[in-house]
Amino acid sequence: MTTRAVTPYRSQTAAGRESFWHLVHAEWTKFRTVRGWMIAMIVAVMAITAFVFLASNVSSSCSGSACPAPPTGPGGEPVQDAFYFAHQPLTGNGTITVQMTSLTGQAAVGPSQMAPGLQPWSKAGIIIKQNTSQGSAYAAMMVTGSHGVRMQWDYVNDTPGLTGSVSEASPRWLRLVRDGDTITGYDSADGTHWTLVGTAALPGLTSTVQAGLFAAAPSNGNTATATGIFRHIGLSWPAARWTGTNVGGSGANGVAVPGKLRQSAGAITVTGSGDITPLAGDGSVLSVQRALAGTPIGLIPLIVVGAMFITAEYRRGLIRVSLTASPRRGRLLAAKAVVIGAVSFVTGLIAAALAVVVGARILAGTGVPLWPVPALTLARMVIGTGALLAVAAVLALAVGTAARRSATAVAAAIVVIFVPYLLVLVPPLLPGHVGRGGFGGGGLSLVAREWLLRITPAAGFSVQQVVPQFSQVADASYSPNWGYYPLAPWTGFAVECAWAAAALALAFYLLRRRDA
Amino acid sequence: MSLAVRVSPSSHPVVQALHAEWTKLRTVAGPAWLLAGVIALTVAVGAVAAGAAQCPSATCGIDPAKVSFTGLYLGQAAGAVAGVLAVGNEYSTGMIKLSLIAVPRRLTWFFAKAAVLTVPVLIASALAVAGSALAGLLILRGHGFTPAHGYASLTAGADIRAAAGAVLYLTLIVLLSLGVAAAVRDSAVAIGLVLGLLFLFPIVASVVSDATLARRLQQIGPLSAGLDVQATIGVKALPLTPWQGLGVVALWTAGPLLLGALALKFRDA
């Protein structure tokens, strides 16, 4: 009988010298060799992309062909551009100065019955506009119902000037100076001391533009008009006759009530309705953000896998082997977080990129007005979705480490991330209208819903918002149901990260404190 | 010296199975904590939601019962965990082998487990719903839910039906979870599936623009159908009548229970 010497296995790594990346590699090997977890990643991608077809299957809300597309502004955004314009041509550079002594309004209180009523965003003032067609470039100085003097240009820009309302006793002087394609706005309380309000660059402005006086009043559901009284009108060019135009006509996109121009000694009175704003703040304008509506559903498999990535080790007893191999427990948790975070990030990135590309194509074919999204914002949306999912999976991992039980951890992670989002989607019932989603009557108030999106991990969904909120849009309802979030994109994401960090800290503490 | 093995007097095997399952449930701390969690979450969130609700005019159209029962969104998650773990723990600890040796008739074992779980769940649900309703009653009166605004009584027949429906809904969700866990045998996957099933339909319904399709989705989704039974105003405009809504939830519960029973019967444990 012969005896063969057996060389015992010796690890190539020197004791105590194992690198963190070896640990990450070991965790990645664990992850990739569990078939169910890889399948879950594929399920997440499929869930998110499948929603594209559901969410993009929209049709224009008005039937037949009697639904003209809204005009688009210089930036390609859908706009409302309807007002009464008393104008004359201006060629080359020039200055227009007026004194406004009054802004009053009328609002419908019944069929063909008007009563005095000034809307907060009723406006009258001076404007320099490319031409009288809808959507053309402009810059304007105006007095408003309750937002003081404003300078607005190209629909999306709005800068405040003097505060307070206008009257005979406290008139407002407004001035616009055109120099090439730059228009500068000034205001003054006395006509002598002027303050710069804003400078608008209107690239591509032609030499001859239309300059003059305007009035507009947003309808807010009821027809409204605004009337401004202009005095001391000073033009730097030889004055021509004023022409009155209802910009937009009185069609579907036009003014509700045709405007009026009255000239008397020393004063011009202009009455108009309509508004000059971006079309935002309700469901009438869609954006490619809609294509990501499936993100919360894709989140569920990621949460399950994120929690199981550690709870499965407890269940199988593998945790003891893992901790024997890597006695520094914090490093094990960190390696797991790196792996699950990276895998979820890539999964989210692939899913979001697919969804955005396909969704944009489908939505463009439906003919509904679409908010234009710059490439940088698109990139933020796609990368942000990956990051949102990655942080959620890390949060689930941390909860799993703390709870050590799969079911409890998964349920807890889903409840803190998903349920706030769900409660937000449930709108309150409006009178005579079963809320979208049909949950009518049980929803939380808008304020409560916004708080949920500020303080819970669901705030992370803010990274997907692409349509900005405009304070100057009258009657805007920036409801989360339309994809508007109360926090700025990366601020919302930071809230989610704070949750994950807190959960990781707790997990780290418990992992070190407890017996495995 | 002889070793006497005392076998319980020859009671019916079903009674024995029920007794055994009850002993298991009673002597483990988890289920009691989870059911306490159902009550605490439901009542606390319901009270917060009622505190945030305001009815400033006669046309506010807010359903006081639905506001009071907002906590069920979270409470049902704790309930689902209880349902999943009732079966999932048998598999994760290997107890299932012992259980099936003790009660070789697998369906007897399964339905005994479901029946034994139902009783404490019903009691916990009743406590949770009663607590939320009481909190709602105390809070909402001061928030404009007054007879002047069209809320003559907050304890009318419809409110009693809403509360009873909420109790049954919660219980059915727990049984649904138990069925799913028996079908997939893994707690984490089961809870993911249950919560995904509950939350999928509302998310889908909120993104489809076709009103008919959205309404259909609310009719077939367990969460939205379950909300119908909790409605006390605008009942005529609901996608389903209240009891039909509960019926849909019952069908959703019957499916996974059946699936779980079949999987248990025809698969190796």
Residue A182 pairs in a beta bridge with A179, A201
Question: Does any CB of chain B come closer than 8 Å to the CB of residue A431?
Answer: yes
A353 and A462 within one domain:
yes
Give the whole-angstrom CA distance, residue A50 versus residue A66.
32
Q: Is residue A73 part of a domain?
A: no
Residue A356 in any domain: the answer is yes
- Which of residues A278, A298, A323 is at a domain's end? A278
DSSP E strands in B86-228: the ranges are none
**Tens digit of each residue's pLDDT (9 = 90 or more) over B43-53:** 999 998 888 88
Q: Which chain B residues have a beta carbon less than 8 Å from that of A407?
A: 81, 84-85, 88, 187-188, 190-191
A141 CB near a chain B CB, below 8 Å?
no
pLDDT of residue A14: 59
Q: Which domain holds residue A137?
A: 79-278
Same domain, A468 and A324: yes
Measure the CA–CA gap between A456 and A285, rounded to whole angstroms: 27
Instruction: Give the ranges where A271-374 is alpha helix by DSSP (H).
Output: 295-316, 318-325, 329-364
Q: Is the pLDDT of residue B241 over 80?
A: yes
pLDDT of residue A428: 43
Q: How far apart are CA A320 and CA A313, in angstroms?
A: 8
Chain A contact set for B233 (CB, 8 A): 441
Tell me, yes or no, whether A72 lies in a domain: no
What pLDDT does A354 receive?
95
**Between β-strands A83-91 and A243-247, what pairing exists: parallel, antiparallel or unpaired?**
antiparallel
Q: Do A92 and A25 share a structural domain?
A: no
Which distant-in-sequence residues (6+ apart) come within 8 Å of A440 by Cβ? Answer: A427, A428, A429, A430, A433, A434, B61, B63, B234, B237
Among partner residues A300, A429, A436, which is closest to B206 by beta-carbon distance?
A436
Q: Which amino acid is at A2?
A: T
Give the pLDDT score at B131.
95
Same domain assignment for residues A46 and A135: no
Q: What pLDDT sits at residue B12?
A: 84
A121 CB neighbour count, 10 Å cutoff:
25
Strand, helix or coil for residue B24: helix
Tokens of residue B267, six digits: 């698969």
User: What's the pLDDT score for residue A436?
Assistant: 34
Cβ distance B70 to A419 less than 8 Å, yes or no, reads no
Give phi and psi for B154, each to the nearest 5: -100, 10
For the stretch B70-114, pLDDT in tens is: 888 889 999 999 999 999 989 888 888 888 888 888 999 999 999
Count of CB pairs separated by less than 8 Å, A with B:
155
Tell me, what's the pLDDT at A433? 33
Q: Which one of A318, A363, A406 makes the best mutation probe of the B interface by having the most chain B beta carbons within 10 Å?
A: A406
Query: Is pLDDT of B1 > 60?
Result: no
CB B148 within 8 A of CB B58: yes
**What pLDDT sits at residue A175?**
95
Q: By the CB < 8 Å criterion, does B199 face chain A?
A: yes
Q: Note whether residue A490 is domain-resident.
A: yes
CA triple A140-A144-A146, angle to 5 deg: 150
* Residue in the block written with tokens 């093995």: B5
Q: Are residues A37 and A84 in the same domain?
A: no
Q: How far apart are CA A414 and CA A341, in angstroms?
A: 17
Contact A293 B80 (CB under 8 A): no
Asked whether residue A145 is assigned to any structural domain, the reply reads yes
In a domain, A204, yes or no: yes
Distance from CA of A287 to the nearest CA of B (A): 13
Claim to verify: residue A268 and residue A342 sit in the same structural domain: no
Instruction: Name the residue in chain A with its Cα closest to that of B49.
Output: A444
Looking at residue A281, what is its pLDDT? 64
* Last-in-domain residue among A235, A258, A278: A278
**Is B266 buried (19+), middle (13-18) or exposed (0-12) by CB count in 10 A?**
exposed
Alpha-carbon distance values, B149 to B58, B63, B139 (Å): 4, 12, 15
Q: Could you say which of B61, B88, B238 has the minimum Cβ distance to residue A407?
A: B88
Last residue of one domain, picked from the residues A259, A278, A297: A278
Q: Same domain, yes or no, for A297 and A330?
A: yes
Do A44 and A105 fall within a single domain? no
Q: Residues B191-208: what's their mean pLDDT?
A: 86
A143 and A253 inside one domain? yes
Question: A78 has which bridge partners?
Answer: A72
From A465, A443, A467, A447, select the one nearest A455 (Cα to Cα). A447
Which of A294, A410, A481 comes nearest B192 by C-beta? A410
Same-domain check for residues A194 and A107? yes
Give the pLDDT of chain A (516 residues) as one tens digit per residue.
566 777 777 666 555 556 888 899 999 999 999 999 999 999 999 999 998 888 776 655 554 444 567 888 888 888 889 999 999 999 999 999 999 999 999 888 777 778 888 888 999 999 999 999 999 999 999 999 989 999 999 999 999 999 988 998 999 999 999 999 999 999 999 989 999 999 999 998 999 999 999 999 987 667 889 999 999 999 999 988 899 999 988 766 677 788 889 988 889 999 999 889 888 766 667 788 888 988 999 999 999 999 999 999 998 889 998 988 888 899 999 999 999 999 999 999 999 999 999 988 888 877 777 888 889 999 999 999 999 999 999 999 999 999 998 888 998 998 888 888 888 876 543 333 333 333 344 556 777 778 888 999 999 999 998 888 888 886 666 777 777 888 999 999 999 999 999 999 999 999 999 887
Q: Evaluate whether A211 touches A126 at the Cβ level (below 8 Å).
A: yes
**What is the domain count for chain A?**
2
Kindly report the CATH number assigned to the domain that includes residue A266: 2.60.120.200
Q: What is the mean pLDDT of chain B?
A: 86
The answer on A293 and A221 residing in a single domain is no
The answer to whether the beta carbons of residues A83 and A214 sit under 8 Å apart is yes
Give the per-residue pLDDT at A427: 52
